[in-house]
């Protein structure tokens, strides 16, 4: 049994990670300040004997009493809706938040896991993207607050590893979806599902031929835990290499929701990546992980969740 701190615990991924760690018999301290996380995400385990919650902003000094075996730094504003509204806060979480959590892990001699993102590859000129691809990122672009917060975070993790001989992990997460995503998240799957369930046209930006690779949340959590348990201290892509066009995704969601929705095209936002697909060779060979949930199955589970959310909101 390990004692583990999870930042961003009330968020989409953070809450699933807390739950999985508790099921594995660990003691979990969840930390969140509620900017984008929701208390309802904690409902299933908030009263668990081995769970405690701390309402705290990770950009401020962090004090945790007692020993810690690991720090999982998931706190971040990952949705474009949020990081465009909170650009400075997003940068501070990636810089100051990573610095504070690394300092805590150093003090406690704890393993440190940083959740980075496929956004470090920017609008890639290589497809699929392997970990040694350096990316095509505009550091002054409209998405830069998020991209650069994660790129800087990775550099900081590397520096702490090299200077302080810390045990670190870096997960480059690709588009993840599933229950506990917010309906107002702004990313494509909750947008499409909400529109399909309400009979609105699905909003497709550009011609819809841009691609993404969607990883179901259960697979993502399994990947993060496999990375944590490995000895790999360099970045590892965690994602599903099943690459789909946005048009394909729209068709699948309309079919699964039995919706009469059509498609409305709007201009593509600037610097929106044309392709996105992880090369997971490293994940397969070095941490023994690959996704198992197909897009249809994952979407069915997600649609059920979103449908219930919408009914509860009425």
pLDDT attached to residue 269: 86
Residues 157 and 255 in one domain: no
Is the pLDDT confidence value at 150 over 90? yes
- Segment 4-15 mean pLDDT: 98
Is the pLDDT confidence value at 314 over 80? no
Residues 136 and 267 in one domain: no
Alpha carbons 220 and 231: distance in angstroms, whole number:
18
Is the pLDDT confidence value at 145 over 90? yes
- List C-alpha distances in Å: 16 to 56, 117, 171: 19, 18, 16
- Segment 232-250 mean pLDDT: 98
Residue 78 pLDDT class (50, 70, 90 cuts):
confident
Please provide the size of the chain in residues. Answer: 314
Question: For the purposes of burial, counting CB atoms within 10 Å of the CB of 144, is it exposed (0-12), middle (13-18) or buried (19 or more)?
Answer: buried
Please identify which of the residues 83, 112, 121, 146 carries the catalytic annotation: 146
Phi then psi for 52, rounded to 5 degrees? -135, 150
pLDDT attached to residue 84: 87
User: In the chain, pLDDT over 90 holds for what percent of residues?
Assistant: 92
- Enter the pTM of the model: 0.96
Residue 19 pLDDT class (50, 70, 90 cuts):
very high
- Segment 64-88 mean pLDDT: 93
Alpha carbons 115 and 298: distance in angstroms, whole number:
22
Residues 106 and 233 in one domain: yes
Q: What is the pLDDT of residues 152-202, one digit of tens each?
A: 999 999 999 999 999 999 999 999 999 999 998 889 999 999 999 999 999
Q: What is the dihedral of CA 147, 149, 155, 156, to 10 degrees?
A: -170
114-123, 265-274, 302-311, range with the lowest pLDDT: 265-274
- Segment 89-111 mean pLDDT: 97
The two three-digit tokens of residue 124, written as one number: 């890639």
pLDDT attached to residue 313: 82
Residues 62 and 145 in one domain: yes
Q: What is the pLDDT of residues 221-230, one digit of tens each?
A: 999 999 999 9
Residues 205 and 163 in one domain: no
Residues 148 and 53 in one domain: yes
Residues 222 and 197 in one domain: no
Residue 291 pLDDT class (50, 70, 90 cuts):
very high
Angle at 247 between CA 78 and CA 134, to 5 degrees: 45
DSSP conformation letters of the chain: --EEEEETTTSHHHHHHHHHHHHTT-EEEEEE-SSS--GGGGTTTTT-TTEEEEE--TTS-----S--SEEEE-----SHHHHHHSHHHHHHIIIIIHHHHHHHHHHHT-EEEEEEEGGGGBS-SSSSB-TT---B--TTSTTHHHHHHHHHHHHHHHHHHHHH---EEEEEE--EE-TT--TTS-SHHHHHHHHHHTTPPEEEETTS--EEE-EEHHHHHHHHHHHHHS---SEEEES---EEEHHHHHHHHHHHHT----EEEEPPPTT--S---B--HHIIIII-------HHHHHHHHHHHHHHHHHHH-
pLDDT attached to residue 91: 96
The residue behind tokens 């947008």 is: 191
Alpha carbons 209 and 204: distance in angstroms, whole number:
10
226: domain CATH number? 3.40.50.720
Residues 95 and 64 in one domain: yes
User: In the chain, pLDDT over 70 holds for what percent of residues?
Assistant: 100
7-21, 73-87, 106-120, 189-203, range with the lowest pLDDT: 73-87
Is the pLDDT confidence value at 271 over 90? no
Residues 112 and 69: beta-carbon distance below 8 Å: no
Of 87, 259, 105, 247, residue with least CA distance to 168:
105
Residues 155 and 56 in one domain: yes
pLDDT attached to residue 270: 83
307: domain CATH number? 3.90.25.10
- Active site annotation includes 146: yes
The two three-digit tokens of residue 16, written as one number: 């699933």
Of 283, 202, 275, 273, residue with least CA distance to 244:
275
Residue 82 pLDDT class (50, 70, 90 cuts):
confident
Residues 20 and 92 in one domain: yes
Q: For the chain, what is the domain count?
A: 2
Residues 124 and 233 in one domain: yes
Q: Which domain holds residue 140?
A: 3-179+215-241+277-292
Q: Is 129 left (phi over 0), alpha (psi -120 to 50) or beta?
A: beta
Residues 233 and 145 in one domain: yes
Of 282, 167, 176, residue with least CA distance to 236:
282
What integer best gives the mean pLDDT of the chain? 96
Beta-carbon contacts of 302 under 8 Å, excluding residues fewer than 6 positions away, are: 177, 178, 179, 181, 189, 193, 216
């Amino acid at each position: 049994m390990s004692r583990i701190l999870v930042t961003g615990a009330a968020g989409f991924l953070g809450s699933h990670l807390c739950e999985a760690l508790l099921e594995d018999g660990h003691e979990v301290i969840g930390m969140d300040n509620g900017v984008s996380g929701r208390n309802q995400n904690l409902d299933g385990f908030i009263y668990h004997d081995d769970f405690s919650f701390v309402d705290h902003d990770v950009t401020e000094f962090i004090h945790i009493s007692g020993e810690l075996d690991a720090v999982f730094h998931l706190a971040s504003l990952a949705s474009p809706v949020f990081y465009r509204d909170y650009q400075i806060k997003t940068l501070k979480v990636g810089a100051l938040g990573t610095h504070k959590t690394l300092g805590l892990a150093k003090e406690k001699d704890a393993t440190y896991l940083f959740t980075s993102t496929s956004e470090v590859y920017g609008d890639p000129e290589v497809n699929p993207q392997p970990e040694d691809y350096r990316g095509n990122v505009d550091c002054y672009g409209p998405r830069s607050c998020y991209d650069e917060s994660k790129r800087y975070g990775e550099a900081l993790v590397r520096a702490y590893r090299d200077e302080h001989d810390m045990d670190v992990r870096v997960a480059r997460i690709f588009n993840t979806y599933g229950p506990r995503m917010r309906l107002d998240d702004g990313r494509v799957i909750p947008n499409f599902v909400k529109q399909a369930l309400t009979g609105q046209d699905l909003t497709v930006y550009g011609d819809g031929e841009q691609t993404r690779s969607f990883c179901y949340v259960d697979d993502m959590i399994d990947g993060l835990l496999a990375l944590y348990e490995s000895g790999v201290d360099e970045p590892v892509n965690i994602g599903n290499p099943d690459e789909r066009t946005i048009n394909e995704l729209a068709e699948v969601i309309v079919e699964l929701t039995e919706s009469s929705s059509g498609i409305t095209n709007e201009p593509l936002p600037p610097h929106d990546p044309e392709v996105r697909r992880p090369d997971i060779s490293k994940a397969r060979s070095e941490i023994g992980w690959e996704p198992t949930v197909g897009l249809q199955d994952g979407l069915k589970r997600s649609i059920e969740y979103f449908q219930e959310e919408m009914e509860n909101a009425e």
